[in-house]
Structure 1
Amino acid sequence: MLKFLVAVGLGLSALAATDACAEEPPVRKAGRWQLTSVSESIGMKTFETCITEADSVVGGKQCHVASIKRLADETYVDVVCTSDGGTEKLSTVYTGDFTTWYRAMSKITFDPPQDGVPHMGVTVDGKYLGPECRSASATDGQ
């Protein structure tokens, strides 16, 4: 499950945006971001990653956006990922200005349950650190 959580964290780290319409996932400002994820099963993890304008909320080749809705300053995104092991459904609400900060709060449902866990929650807080990305050897994440 930890491997999946890392993938989810990277998928969530690929989110954010300025003025996205209701049909488009948000896109965060390109540059270096500090991401802090919190979940009951893995605790709190903080890392830095380089985000490009092409990064997507969809966390992998076998994932697709099922729905996107915008209500006031919140964007709700449902993503479905399939693999040989089953299906994961991520329901996430995003808030923030996506140029300096954002928050992603997700509920992940596993079918069948992973390691006996049917669902879990994870929150990711992103803080923009600047336009310059460090070399790949100095950056965790992507």
Structure 2
Amino acid sequence: MKIRSTVAAACLAAAGIYAGPAFAIDYPARKPGLWEMQTSDGAGSKAKPEAIQQCIDAATDKMLREMGQGMGKDMCAKQDMRMEGGKMVIDSVCKIGQTTATSQAVMTGDFSTGYRLESKSTYSPPLMGRAGATTVVEARWVGPCKADQKPGDMVMNGMKMNVHDMIGGRGKK
């Protein structure tokens, strides 16, 4: 069960920055290669940030954007995205089970060398005992993928997996 939840978390993490339906403003494509993403609970959190490394190419990045957009269509009644002075701002209202999550996410960066996403959410009724949450994702391009990696490979919590294999896609060799 732990492995299954880790795999699900990895898929969500991989597609999570793209959740939402298709917009007039398209998400920028990330530079192909190895990306490292640190996820934390926001400023002042005592929890250790989680790190994910992900090897992507243009096709994998596109697949993850489309997967996230599909998740948003299924879960969200509202997804508004706009540009404000070089920042991408996304306001959403989504259902998670019986809970309504109202969120605002702000993305900055160039998607070639790095980006930052900060999302603040409130939950009604509370989700797993929490009335709200802040999530921060700091991502940076590390360089080319390692010699033993193929597009779609992710390393999370010391476990290596491939998003194409997890979702039954075309695993690249």
Deviation at 1:58, TM superposition (A): 4.1
Structure 1, unmatched stretches of 5+, are 16-20
Q: Partner residue of 2:129?
A: 116
What whole-Å deviation, never above 9, does each CA across 1:12-56 have from its counterpart, x for those lacking one?
A: 4458xxxxx962233322332100011138441112123433122
Contact 1:9 1:124 in 2 (8 A): no
**1:47 pairs with 2:52:** yes
Counterpart-to-counterpart distance in 1, 2:138 and 2:70: 17
Q: Which runs of 5+ in 2 are unaligned?
A: 164-173
- Identity, % of aligned positions: 23
Give 1:127's match in structure 2, choosing from 140, 144, 155: 140
Q: What RMSD, in angstroms, separates the aligned Cα atoms of the two structures?
A: 3.2
Q: What TM-score do the two structures reach when normalised by structure 1?
A: 0.71
Instruction: Indicate the SS of the match to 1:53.
Output: helix
Cα contact 1:31–1:50 (8 A) shared by 2: yes
**Structure with more of its chain in helix, by fraction:** 2
Whichever structure has more strand as a proportion of its residues is: 1
Task: Provide the rounded CA distance (Å) in 2 between the counterparts of 1:26 and 1:112.
Answer: 34
Where does residue 25 of structure 1 map in the other structure?
27
Letter in 1 for 2:85: A
How many residue pairs end up in the alignment?
A: 133
Is the contact between residue 34 and residue 143 of structure 2 (CA under 8 Å) also seen in structure 1? yes
Mapped to 2, the partners of 1:107 and 1:8 lie a distance apart of 17
